[in-house]
Amino acid sequence: MKKGNLFVISGPSGAGKSTVCKLVRKILRINVAVSATTRALRKGEVEGNEYHFLTKDDFENKIAKDEFLEYAKVHENYYGTLKSEVENKLANGENVILEIDVQGGIQIREIYPNAKLIFFKSPSLEDLEKRLRFRGTESEETVQLRLKNAKEELEIGKGYDETVINCRIEQACTDIVNLIEKYTREN
Ligand code: 5GP
């Protein structure tokens, strides 16, 4: 049986990745893997929906049991992709999107050299700062930390296969859908 394709979408926090992934999922009915994290739930988030929210001990237990395809510390919390969210789906011929940071993206490329890495960013750092503040979910300290990390992510993102800029969310969504459809046709 033909295996599914794996897509990684990374980009600075606040660029609109989650929003665009939700839209893409609706249009393509594609799997978006639910990651595990040790960060606290934000208002409106539900366990198992945005993330599997784990304690640090539980997360480290899963690391020891080799349950992660990749994991990384991002903004001082653990985030990781569970093998159970990905491997069977790919084996069954289904496509899967991972919405993960650039450290995770680089690890995935090592494991799945055919994975398509898409870097999703806002038009400028000023624009990103506006979006992070507008979201209103982060303290000033966290906003500053995320902006600092964004600069490093932008550098690593230069090594990704594709870049999509979020000028308008609908257009950005169409761009990603087109990339996924094109890649799926070719493979
Ligand atoms: P947030 O806390 O804003 O939901 O996510 C923070 C960052 O962690 C984002 O860049 C997000 O893409 C990344 N992230 C989410 N899940 C994973 C994961 O499973 N692995 C890695 N490496 N990064 C992740």
- Where do the domains of the chain lie, and which CATH numbers do they carry? 6-186 (3.40.50.300)
Whose CA is closest to atom 2 on ligand 1? 39
Report pTM: 0.94
Q: Decide: 138 and 39 in contact? Cβ < 8 Å.
A: no
Q: Decide: 7 and 97 in contact? Cβ < 8 Å.
A: yes
Residue 92 DSSP one-character state = T
What average pLDDT does range 139-153 have in this prediction? 89
| Long-range CB contact pairs, 133-142, < 8 A, 24+ | 135/14, 137/42, 137/43, 142/75
What average pLDDT does range 4-13 have in this prediction? 95
What average pLDDT does range 33-53 have in this prediction? 96
* Distance in Å, CA 170 to ligand 1 centroid: 22
CA distance 54 to 40: 9
97 closest CA partner among 9, 157, 1, 12 = 9
What are the C-alpha distances in Å from 81 to residues 13, 25, 52, 137?
17, 18, 10, 24
CA distance 155 to 117: 14
Whether ligand 1 lies within 6 angstroms of the CB of 38 is answered as: no
* Distance in Å, CA 1 to ligand 1 centroid: 31
CA distance 115 to 125: 27
Whether ligand 1 lies within 6 angstroms of the CB of 153 is answered as: no
How deeply is 126 buried, as exposed, middle or buried, from its count of CB atoms within 10 A (0-12, 13-18, 19+)? exposed
Q: Examine the pLDDT at 138 and tell me if it is beyond 80.
A: no
* Distance in Å, CA 171 to ligand 1 centroid: 23
Q: What's residue 161's pLDDT?
A: 97
Phi, psi dihedrals of residue 175, rounded to the nearest 5°? -60, -45
Whether ligand 1 lies within 6 angstroms of the CB of 85 is answered as: no
* Nearest-atom index, ligand 1, CA of 39: 2
Helix H or strand E segment including 117: strand 116-121
Q: What's residue 69's pLDDT?
A: 98
